[in-house]
Each structure stands twice: as C-alpha cells, then as structure tokens.
A and B are shown apart, each in its own frame.
Chain A
C-alpha cells in the first residue's frame, strides 16, 4: 500500500512536469523530431544525467527502500531483435501522434480528449500484441525477481 502510494506520487510528479514543460503538446514533439526544439533534448539529457548519478549513489550507498526496506537494485538486459523491431513500430506511431504513452496520459488528465483516442489505440495495440503470442515474456516474470530494465 505504501509502495503504491509512493508510486502514485512519483507518477503525478512525472505527469505534472511533462505537462508543465509542454511535452504533452504534439507541436513540441513534432518540432523536436524536426530538430527545431533543442529544449526537449536538453530535458532528456539532463533527466538522464540526474537519474544516472542519483541511482548510482543509491547503489553505492547500499540504499534500502523507504516503503519495504528491501535493497535497491536492478539488473540490465542485453539488446534483442524485439527491442529494435518494437521501437521501429513505436517510432512510426510516435511520428504521427507526436504523443507517446506518458504524455497521452497527461493529455487525458488535462482534458485534452483527443488523448483518449491515442490511449485507446495504445490499449488496442497492446491487446493485439498479447493475442499474437501465447504468454508474454514480460508478464511471465516471477513477481519476486529483481526489476529488470529494458525487457
């Protein structure tokens, strides 16, 4: 429960910042993709830099979670063909909507009803992907396993 409340909080902080920085506006993303919007690259770069340093400090300090006391740790994943193939399809859809999954959720919160169309499309695409393979390797991971990044 505490962990889910913390998760909700960080989701809200993330969504608020995406909205405030206008990353949920299709024009911002279109301009970024056409290399006319340096701010988005600066946001992504500084976010990655901050999170890289912060997460390494957690690991070096052998941090434990506030909510459950378990050690903070993660494992990384080697790239596979599905990362490339999936990202090509995602990139094609993204170039049209100029809205990716996080900003689609922000749009819905902000009352931009067209975000609901993007969101519904996401659910349909995911359901189709589910239907094309019997057991998703992502969902089949044991619950107690370390959080893997880049499944």
Chain B
C-alpha cells in the first residue's frame, strides 16, 4: 500500500508511539519497553519449563508489528537496510555479522545494567517522569552521538 511504503511523517509517528505507552499503561498498568523482553527471553531460554514473563509478549508484538509494516509497505526483502551499514564499515555479510554481534553484546550488557533502552527509558520512563530514565537517555544519546562522530572521523567520512 502506497501510504505505508512512504515514510510515516513525524507528527503521526511520534504521537502514535506515545499513545502506545498510554494505551499499554491504561490496559495493563505495565510500562512499555523492548529491553525487558530480551532479558526475560534469556531467563526463559535458561528454564524453558517456566512461563515467560509478559515482556516477552510485548517483544513478540514488536516482531509482529515489524512483519506487518513490511507487508503493508510491500518491502519484505532481505537486508536492504544494511547496504548503508556495509558502506559505512566496509563490511560484507560475514564481517557485518561479527560487528553486529559485538555491538549487540555491548548493548545487551548495557541495557540490562541500565534497566532500559531507547523505548523503556527514552520514551516511556521519561514520559512517566522518572529521573533515572532522563539520566539514562541523556547518557546514551550523548555517548552514541560522540561515538558515531568519532568513528566517522577515524575511518574517514565514508557515508
């Protein structure tokens, strides 16, 4: 569908993401966030006989939403979004996999330590007025901006 193939304008995307926080709190009194799903997925993989926590249902929902957004846009291709990544780092599939595993590992360790990521701290926690979330968000935004600028400076301006 044309409308979903074009990029959603910010003035629609932002309020809808905010309403997801409100809706989920209203429906279930649960704070929205993606990190908890990954943490509790690890816990569940360790003891598969246990019942996974609700955060895993949220994470499965995000995967499903991704699938639906791809179907709606008619864009379910393998890795079109990573051409940029390969261009930036000069990677091919193998080195890209290693780099993403490493970056994912850093992020996993970090979000578990900090108790949240861009959604849990950056959108939900900030909205609920949690000082910890504002500190976490300011920290990861500043770190990522500096690191992205530094990596481009070190490697020479690739993209």
- Give me the interface of A with B, judged by CB distance under 8 Å: 3-4, 6-27, 30, 33-35, 39-40, 42-52, 54-55, 58, 63, 65-68, 70-74, 76-80, 82-102, 104-114, 117-130, 136, 138-139, 147, 149-151
Main secondary structure of the interface of B (DSSP, over half): helix
Number of interface residues of B (CB under 8 A): 116
CA distance A73 to B100 in the complex (A): 37
- Count of CB-CB pairs between chains A and B under 8 Å: 485
Which of A12, A85, A149 has the largest number of chain B CB atoms within 10 A?
A: A149
Q: Are B100 and A118 in contact (CB under 8 A)?
A: yes
Chain B residues with CB under 8 Å of A68's CB are 28-29
Q: Are B17 and A4 in contact (CB under 8 A)?
A: no
CB-nearest residue of chain A relative to B4?
A20
CB-nearest residue of chain B relative to A10?
B24
List the 6 closest A-B pairs by CB distance, nearest first. A121-B104, A11-B61, A125-B108, A15-B65, A109-B66, A50-B18
10 contacts across the A-B interface (CB closer than 8 A): A6-B24, A16-B69, A20-B72, A46-B15, A76-B132, A96-B103, A96-B151, A102-B118, A104-B104, A128-B109
Q: Mark B133-144, 1 if CB is under 8 A from A, else 0.
A: 111110111111
Q: Are A8 and B114 in contact (CB under 8 A)?
A: no
Q: Are B61 and A10 in contact (CB under 8 A)?
A: yes
Q: Are B127 and A26 in contact (CB under 8 A)?
A: no
Chain A residues with CB under 8 Å of B37's CB are 101, 105
B14 within 8 A of A: yes
Chain A residues with CB under 8 Å of B65's CB are 11-19, 106, 109
Q: Are B67 and A123 in contact (CB under 8 A)?
A: no
Q: Are A74 and B140 in contact (CB under 8 A)?
A: no
Contact among B59, B104, B126, B136 for A87, CB-based, below 8 A = B136
CB-nearest residue of chain B relative to A39?
B10
Contact among B61, B123, B136 for A51, CB-based, below 8 A = B123
A106-B14 contact in complex given A8-B60, A24-B81, C-beta closer than 8 Å: no
A77-B132 contact in complex given A51-B21, A147-B31, A149-B125, C-beta closer than 8 Å: yes
